[in-house]
Amino acid sequence: MSLSFSVLFRTSRPGESRYGELDALRGAGVVMMVVFHLFYDLDYFGVVRVEPRVGLWFWFGRATAILFILLMGVSLSLLAARLGPGVGPGPYVRRGAKVFAWGLVITGVTWAAYPGNAIVFGILHFLGVATVSALPFLRLGRWNLLPGGVMVAMGVVLYPLTFDFPWLLWLGFTPRVFYAFDYFPLLPWFGVVLWGVALGGILYPRGERGFRVPGGIRAPGLLLALGRNSLLVYLVHQPLLVAGVLLLLRLR
């Protein structure tokens, strides 16, 4: 995975244990993501009925997303501490633009495969925009808990509502006739990013770990590897899962 994505998807390089706990958490999120999408695909193709859009599986998917987005906010906090206050928006814009570009690739692929359910503002689109949007908030540190809570509350209010225009779909104003496999508007999800930035300021003041881990970081190597390469896993896991499910259906 390119280092240009490290702010969003990892905080330590292989061999560095300083932030290994974040790699391990991110690796756990990757496992949760693959499990959720596996059962989503099994339900979508009629192999099993698990109802991934409601109930336990819905909240399992939401917990996975919250974990990833919180860690993204923590990573932004660490990046800001490492770069210092004198650095302009360039590093954040470049990282956000690259992730957003991958989101556009996902849009193109899903538009070709599922025209009625194309992903127009999914997790990668959101992460790209949120990376740049977070820039003026990074200096607030732990005080981001307040604006983060306001944005989450606004998103909760908007969630059940629908509107006659599509232009603010990215913000959280959902059109009346709209469905996509993956949809992460700024409201409420940008609030979760700000909570992650606040968490980073609390747990890693000035970019240094502010707590002790007795015995150091101990996590399975596979989990750490998944956490360090989560973007790559994200991009390839769904095609592999869909191919596996279709092969299963063909064998049946």
For residue range 123-154, list pLDDT tens digits in order: 999 999 999 999 999 999 999 999 999 999 99
Q: Where is pLDDT greater, at 210 or 119?
A: 119
Tell me the three state secondary structure of residue 62.
helix
d(CA 93, CA 141): 20
Lowest mean pLDDT among 63-67, 115-119, 204-208: 115-119
Question: 181 — phi, psi (to 5°)?
Answer: -65, -30
161-176: average pLDDT: 94
Write down the pLDDT at residue 1: 31
Q: What is the pTM of this model?
A: 0.87
Give me the helices (H) in 114-229, please. Answer: 123-133, 145-158, 186-203, 221-228
Q: Where is pLDDT greater, at 222 or 86?
A: 222
Say if residue 188's pLDDT is above 50: yes
Among the listed residues 17, 1, 250, the one whose alpha carbon sits nearest the alpha carbon of residue 9: 1
Write down the pLDDT at residue 16: 43
d(CA 142, CA 145): 6
Written as six digits, the tokens of 42 are 């099994």
